[in-house]
Amino acid sequence: MTSHPDDQASLLVLEAGFTLLAGLMAFCWPKAGSRWFAKIEKLFGSLARRRAASIAVVGAAAMLLRLAILPLEPIPQPFIHDEFSYLLAADTFASGRLTNPTHPMWTHFESFHIDQQPTYMSMYFPAQGLMMAAGQVLFGHPWYGVLLSVGLMCATLCWMFQGWLPPGWALLGGMLAVIRLGLFSNWVNGYYGGAIAATGGALVLGALPRMRRVKDGANARDGMLMALGAIILANSRPYEGLLVCAPAVAWLCWKALGDSQRRAMFARNLIAPSILLAIAAGLMAHYDQRVFGNALTLPYQTNRMTYASAPVFVWEWPRPAPEYRSKEMHDFFQVWEMRDFRLAQTLQGFSDKTVQKLATALLFFFGFALLFPLIMLPRLFRDSRVRYLLIAGAVFGLGLGVNAWFFPHYAAPFTGAVYVLLLQCMRHLRQSKPIGRALVRYMPLVCLLLAGIRMYAAPLGLAIQRWPSMWYGTEPLGLPRAKVAAQLEMQPGKQLAIVRYSPEHAPFDDWVYNKADIDASKVVWARELHASSNADLLQYFRDRLAWLVEPDFDPPRVSPYSPR
């Protein structure tokens, strides 16, 4: 007998309880386990002093631990629109193409966040798709590209922390990133992205303190790494990436202006990064030309102009509603998006959304387990080590504040800075002996304990919501479509799945998604339209067995398709 979700325990409640328990222990028994903690810290410190080894250990731990728990946390099924869009990009790149020609029956294949004209391709920037394509080519499934990106993110974060903090704290931060982001967050258990942008931001912000050094070699190398990070951001989350890169460049220029030797060195070391950026800009323009028909048309633009009315920023005005061929797309763009946008333009709605964004970010990056150190935030304002990150964080927060929507991967470029500020708070808290030191020691243990509980969440009967927790819940989203797809894949010959929704269908659960080469696919998914268009579809795919798929039945109903 299965328990109802409302009757199940919540991991967030457990996390809050364990955090309070850790605080109580720190106040009542601050020296508990001190001998064991000292031994662990000594071993930890010996590894941390080997900087390259620390980076490698953190990156490998993220990937190997996630692979180890595959029996309990299998490869995720895509569900949200964005995931299918990125999967289309991965399949396209893995096939050796930048994009795909528009299909003759494209009106039946329209779906969210996918362009059908001038070419058939994901509307998103290519970085996430390229990484997933690498996983598909090398290991047979795009999720392995996601796993690689998470391992790279954790390793790069550790490298970044080494530029801002002592080695031991950098290693601790890398391991916290593994536990908090690398095992259960939707950055690894989904196809949205997040890890790629976090890697780009870590490269930019990690190069920043290193570029203040006078050594030419270090500055030339780190200038190239900063340029590489900027390129990654431009091809993953360009707006948020600009919010990271612009203050960094301004800060470097300001530092260089006051020192003639530094200014000359800065100019010399700017040549190679500038060439790298120019090459990347040329490649991006070529991609835009091939996919969107114009080198100056960026990803997002074509799709938003075709389907959306609500702008991204709250100061903009909505565009007239386009004509839609399906109720689901109308409901998504004209009801859900427009309602949220209109709400964000009101004073009350903007205030509520700002609070919601802050709460979402706090729960995602810190949860309850890492909130205690934030009591030391006032001390950071007097801390010259991280003053720049506080200013940059204010710029980044203001930039995100004027966006009508927010999900944790929007903040991914600033992930490294968020954890540097956390770790510096932990350093200040540790100085408040013995209670502060005990709190800092107990918090990683709480994170480890929670990770172990999350691993066995299903057999323990724990309910975990998808948002806003970073534990990314256990609800089996995407399984109904995956089961129907598997059944159709097992049928002999090629299949055509014509999807018919009920009038009450939720637009977030769309089933009409296809691979890059539609005609060569074993199963083609199509949207049912009006009778004459359906007849053309059946004629075009006359060599396939046509099925009517009705997702809104429980379970979903699959039956032979009849034109009547």
Nearest-angstrom CA–CA distance, 476 and 458 = 11
Average pLDDT over residues 22-33: 92
Q: Provide the pLDDT for residue 3.
A: 42
**Across 16-30, 90-104, 272-286, 470-484, least confident range:** 470-484
Helix (H, G, I), strand (E, B) or coil at 497: strand
| Greater model confidence, 21 or 220 | 21
**Distance separating the N- and C-terminal Cα atoms of the chain:** 41
Percent of the chain with pLDDT over 90: 80
Is 70 exceeded by the pLDDT of residue 475? no
pLDDT per position as a tens digit, 491-509: 999 999 999 999 999 888 9
Given pLDDT bands bounded at 50, 70 and 90, which one contains residue 456? confident
* DSSP per-residue codes, 27-75: HH-TTTTHHHHHHHHHHHHHHHTSHHHHHHHHHHHHHHHHHHTTTTSPP
Chain segment 199-243, per-residue pLDDT in tens: 999 999 999 998 876 554 457 889 999 999 999 999 999 999 999
Number of domains, the chain = 1
Q: Cα separation of 101 and 56, whole Å?
A: 42
- Quote the DSSP letter at residue 453: H
pLDDT of residue 5: 41
Residue 67's CB: how many other CB atoms inside 10 A?
10
Q: Is the pLDDT of residue 564 over 80?
A: no
- With tokens 């974060």, the residue in question is 157
Tokens of 429: 């808290």
**Per-residue pLDDT at 268:** 76
The more confident residue out of 261 and 342 is 342
pLDDT at 298: 92
Cβ count near 476 (within 10 Å): 12
- Span 137-147, mean pLDDT? 97
Residue 247 CA to its chain's centroid (Å): 22
Whether 500 is covered by a domain: the verdict is: yes
- Residue 466 pLDDT greater than 70, yes or no: no
Q: What is the mean pLDDT of residues 107-133?
A: 97
Average confidence (pLDDT) over 20-30: 93
Comparing 258 with 378, the larger pLDDT belongs to 378
pLDDT confidence of residue 127? 97
* The pLDDT of residue 343: 94
Residue 7 has pLDDT above 50, yes or no: no
- Domain contains 508: yes
- Given pLDDT bands bounded at 50, 70 and 90, which one contains residue 270? confident
The range of the structural domain enclosing residue 508 comes to: 479-560
Asked whether the beta carbons of 426 and 373 are under 8 A apart, the reply is yes
For 41, phi and psi rounded to 5 degrees? -65, -35
Least confident of 28-32, 133-137, 294-298: 28-32
Rounded to whole angstroms, how far apart are CA atoms 30 and 26? 4
pLDDT for 64 beyond 50: yes
The model's confidence at residue 6, banded by pLDDT at 50, 70 and 90, is very low
Spatial distance between the Cα atoms of 378 and 448, rounded to a whole number of angstroms: 28
pLDDT for position 474: 63
Tell me what pLDDT residue 1 has: 34
The answer to the question of residue 411 being in a domain is no
Percent pLDDT > 70 in the chain is 94
Closest CA to 244 of 207, 213, 273: 207
Q: Per mean pLDDT, which range of 127-141, 242-256, 320-334 is the poorest?
A: 242-256
Would 181 be classed as within a structural domain?
A: no
Q: Of the ranges 163-177, 255-269, 292-306, 504-518, which one carries the lowest mean pLDDT score?
A: 255-269
Considering only residues 90 and 11, tell me which one the structure prediction assigns the higher pLDDT: 90
Of residues 433 and 419, more confidently modeled: 419
Q: What's the mean pLDDT in 358-366? A: 92
Look up residue 518 and give its two tokens.
């539609």
Which residues, in sequence order, are CB contacts of 98 under 8 Å at separation 6+?
92, 121, 287, 290, 291
Q: Is residue 278 part of a domain?
A: no
Beta bridge partners of 313: 403
How many degrees, rounded to 5, is the angle at CA 258 between CA 255 and CA 261? 90
pLDDT band of 172, cuts 50, 70, 90: very high
Average pLDDT, the chain: 91
**Given this model, what pLDDT does residue 403 score?**
94
User: Token pair of 339, please?
Assistant: 């309602």
- What pLDDT is stored for residue 260 in this prediction? 67
Specify the range with the lowest mean pLDDT, choosing from 9-13, 131-135, 320-324, 473-477: 473-477
Q: Name which residue leads in pLDDT, 184 or 215.
A: 184
pLDDT of residue 12: 82
Q: How confident is the model at residue 376 (pLDDT cuts 50, 70, 90)?
A: very high
d(C-alpha 251, C-alpha 247), whole Å: 6
Question: pLDDT (tens digit, 9 = 90+) per residue, 534-563?
Answer: 999 999 999 999 999 999 999 999 999 987
Query: Residue 487 domain-assigned?
Result: yes
Global pTM value: 0.94
Under the banding of pLDDT at 50, 70 and 90, the label for residue 261 is: low
Over residues 69-94, the mean pLDDT reads: 94
Higher pLDDT residue, 254 or 376? 376
Query: Does residue 67 belong to any structural domain of this protein?
Result: no
Q: Is residue 240 part of a domain?
A: no
Banded pLDDT at 60 (limits 50, 70, 90): very high
**Number of neighbours of residue 12 by Cβ within 10 angstroms:** 19
Per DSSP (E only), the strands in 426-491 are 462-463
